[in-house]
Structure 1
Amino acid sequence: MTDLKWKLLHSEYIHKGPWATLRTDRCEMPDGRIMPDYYVLEYPNWVNGVAITEDGKILMVRQYRHAAGIVSLEIPGGVIDGDEAPIDAMRRELLEETGYLFEDIELTATIYPNPATATNQTFCYLAKGGKKVQAQDLDEHEEIIVEQYTIAEIKQLLADNKIPQALHCTALFYGLSKLGVL
């Protein structure tokens, strides 16, 4: 099999921020060609989850996404804090964004949002049996509306291209597949 991996020769940071860091890499390709400026975004890892309540409804969140300029229908999720375990981050995000507590949570997939330009992974979960235990506990700049849908409604929203976040569509595919409803 042909080795396709590039050799890293040099990295230089252009910007370091809490949510995104940009660096430029100088790399040597397997055939010896040099890639002088390959831009790489370093993001923290993320979690998202298909969250099903104890009465069988899927929790969705609606929020504004400034970069795209859209109000987006999504599944709950967010950034993994520091050395937090992904499953703990998922449990925390579910509780913060929806007020629902989930004990039955399983990993369905680990994906790369954009491996061509970004370093991070997203851990996708299926959470079942959620119980409302508190009000939302949102971050300072979060405004999230929680909505509930049946599995049939989610399948129709996907078919109608009404869930625009690609990572969330992927997690929904894995979650619905795990449930055996695709």
Structure 2
Amino acid sequence: MEDDYEHLREVEIAGTSVFRGNLLDVRCDKVRLPDGESTLREYIRHQGAAVVIAQRADQRLIFVRQYRYPLQRAFLELPAGKIDPGEAPADTARRELREETGYVAEQWRHLGVMHPCVGYSDERIEIFLASNVRRGSPRALDDNEFIDVFSLTLPEALEAVRDGRITDAKTLSGLLWAEKVLVSGW
């Protein structure tokens, strides 16, 4: 299917790493456009992440509240985290659910992938459904993580989207999947 859009392809002429940190690799590449002209494309390379829709036996979904420095406020989010080098996305999902929340799941299902910032990043977030979630081991937060854990029903979570308490892209996408999978049986 991708070959159907060859007339839109941009080809790298030269690439430059502007900044490389622990999380992000900021790039500025010179590219040839479909019409033969060239331009610069600034973007961020990211190793990818996994997000977990974790549903307890009582149907409540597990959420975290975490302060996000760039926006100077706390956000309501589904548990998630970056994929470590060489780690399978499913293993990332299991690890992040356990580390951030202390929960483990009996059943796992990969639902899909989302790309949160297609205009300036190659980041992908793999979406997983974890069913029959229960308390497992104690949380194992990173040294720089401070996270509240709580649960909401799916209707409560959708109300939080409607009233603006949930605005995080991966959580919005996850809740779309949750509604379709848990209610409509996708």
Name the TM-score, length of structure 1 as normaliser: 0.94
Give the SS at the match of 2:177.
Answer: helix
Question: What is the alpha-carbon distance in structure 1 between the residues aligned to residue 122 and residue 157 of structure 2?
Answer: 30
Matches within 5 A, 1:133-152: 133-152=136-155
State how far apart, in whole Å, the 1-side matches of 2:117 and 2:140 are.
29
| 1:71-111 deviation per Cα after TM superposition (whole angstroms, max 9, x unaligned) | 10100000011111001100000000110111311111211
1:155-170 mapped onto 2 (5 Å cutoff):
155-170=158-173
- Quote the residue 2:35 is aligned against: 31
- Residues matched between the structures, number: 181
Could you tell me whether the CA contact under 8 Å between 1:109 and 1:171 is conserved in 2?
no
Shift of 1:181: 5.5
- Aligned Cα root-mean-square deviation (Å): 1.4
SS of alignment partner, residue 115 of structure 1 = coil
CA distance in 2: counterparts of 1:33 and 1:120, whole angstroms:
27
Q: Equivalent of 1:79, from 77, 82, 90?
A: 82
Q: Distance in 2 between matches of 1:118 and 1:63?
A: 22
- The question of whether the paired residues in 1 share the 8 Å contact of 2:50 and 2:92 is answered with yes
Name the CA distance, whole Å, in 1 between partners of 2:126 and 2:156. 24
1:179 aligns to what? Answer: 182
- The question of whether the paired residues in 1 share the 8 Å contact of 2:66 and 2:148 is answered with yes
Q: Which runs of 5+ in 1 are unaligned?
A: none
1:5 partnered with 2:3: no
Is the CA contact 2:158–2:175 (under 8 Å) kept in the aligned structure 1?
Answer: no
Which structure's residues are more often helix, by fraction? 2
Structure 2: which amino acid aligns with 1:18? N
> What is the CA–CA distance in structure 2 between the aligned matches of 1:177 and 1:54, rounded to whole Å?
18
Partner of 1:68 in structure 2?
A: 71
